[in-house]
Amino acid sequence: MTDNTIILDEIDGRKAAAFVVAGQLEDFFLTSPDSFGLVPGTICRGIIDQFVKGQGGVFVKLPDGLRGFLRNSKGSRLGEKILIQVTSYPDEGKAIPVTDRIIFKGRGVIITPYAKGINVSRQIKSDEEKLRILDIINDNVPEDLASGIIVRSMAINLDDNTLLEETKALIHLSEKVLSDKGTGIELLVQGENAHALALREWPIFKKSQIFTGGFEENGILDQLTELIDTRVNIGLGSIFIEPTRALVAVDVNTGNDFSPAAGLKANLHLARVLPRQLRLRGLGGQITLDLAPMAKKDRKQFELAIAKSFKTDPVESTLVGWTPLGHYEIQRKRERVPLRLGLKL
């Protein structure tokens, strides 16, 4: 195999995808069990069911008897039909987080019905590439298009025809959904499974780098089994990542290193490995770090290190900061299936 590969396989009859760099699992998608309900990205026609006092939100009736929670619902009326999109998986026992700001996401572009204009990712540095992409869009997209377009960084590796066809298809889908005249509760667009997500989100552009089947032969199942363990078996000291009902607790210890700088070294190591560990384990929500002891003067160094690590992580995360007890908190979007719940290895 080449250094960077995508492996598309199945686990327990559900589609799964592994992104492997030099033999190490770098990212992983798993199609959620049916019991998880609607997956992120799903678009539905729902009915506003109940206002939530003090939270500025409403509960929304969804297909299959499910319930969604929509924030910032000013002006909504009970019984009103509404188009919503699932944004993330819910906490156990809670309503599904949804938004009425629907988007249609592809590999090269995102169609934004409620934000007009064309915006190009800042990661596209080449003026030549920007002009090529904008020429394709401006020459083929109607001037009176009601929606906006965001050009993603991966558009630079799409040829003209592929980028054009994707853009046209997403515009057509958005217009079809937004012109919906139905009145009842209905699923309109199904969120994508693990294989489709992998081919949309991961930076692989040659068919020779994509393989069908091979989890067992390439050690993927063994790496996944290790990730179910709460202990992170890499690097300095000891790290434990333990999901609870309320939050994800991360405990850092120095191990057998008793030097004055041991705490800082262990915490900096955590900063480097944490985004990957959370990503592969499918963990989100409130993340609380119980760090190894270190001087307050070293906190700035830790803050810079963890900000650098999360900057390139694809999952939306907010670095909240320090608590009065000296813990460090992160709020992370629940957009993936928790590995410990989704696997039976």
- Are the C-beta atoms of 253 and 238 separated by less than 8 Å? yes
285: left (phi over 0), alpha (psi -120 to 50) or beta: left
**Both structure tokens of 29:** 């998608």
Q: What does the pLDDT read at residue 2?
A: 54
Q: What does the pLDDT read at residue 241?
A: 97
- Are the C-beta atoms of 48 and 77 separated by less than 8 Å? yes
Mean pLDDT, residues 191-211 taken together: 89
Quickly state the pLDDT bin for 344 (edges 50, 70, 90): low
Of 82-86, 114-118, 131-135, 285-289, the range with the lowest mean pLDDT is 114-118
Quickly state the pLDDT bin for 119 (edges 50, 70, 90): very high
- Calculate the alpha carbon distances from 61 to 56, 102, 243 in Å: 17, 17, 29
Residue 205: is its pLDDT beyond 70?
no
Residues 256-286 pLDDT 10s: 777 888 999 999 999 999 999 999 999 999 9
Mean pLDDT, residues 2-17 taken together: 90
Of 6-10, 17-21, 183-187, 235-239, the range with the lowest mean pLDDT is 235-239
Residue 310: is its pLDDT beyond 80?
yes
Residue 345: is its pLDDT beyond 60?
no
Quickly state the pLDDT bin for 144 (edges 50, 70, 90): confident
- Are the C-beta atoms of 274 and 309 separated by less than 8 Å? yes
State the helix-helix crossing angle for 160-178 and 127-140, rounded to 10 degrees: 50
Q: What does the pLDDT read at residue 298?
A: 96
Mean of all residue pLDDT scores within the chain: 92
Q: What does the pLDDT read at residue 64?
A: 92
Residues 312-337 pLDDT 10s: 999 999 999 999 999 999 999 999 98
Q: What does the pLDDT read at residue 312?
A: 92
Q: What does the pLDDT read at residue 207?
A: 73
Global pTM reads 0.90
More confidently predicted of 160 and 235: 160
Portion of the chain with pLDDT greater than 90, in percent: 76
Q: How far apart are CA 176 and CA 59, in angstroms?
A: 25
Handedness of CA 251, 302, 89, 9 (dihedral sign): negative
Cα-to-chain-centroid distance, residue 224: 19
Give me the DSSP letters along 277-330. HHHHHT--EEEEEEPPP--GGGHHHHHHHHHHHHHT-SS-EEEEEE-TTS-EEE
Residue 142: is its pLDDT beyond 90?
no
Q: How far apart are CA 27 and CA 25, in angstroms?
A: 6
Q: What does the pLDDT read at residue 243?
A: 94
Domains and CATH numbers, the chain: 1-31+193-228 (no CATH), 35-102 (2.40.50.140), 229-342 (no CATH)
Quickly state the pLDDT bin for 38 (edges 50, 70, 90): very high
Q: What does the pLDDT read at residue 259?
A: 85
Mean pLDDT, residues 208-219 taken together: 92
Q: What does the pLDDT read at residue 3?
A: 73
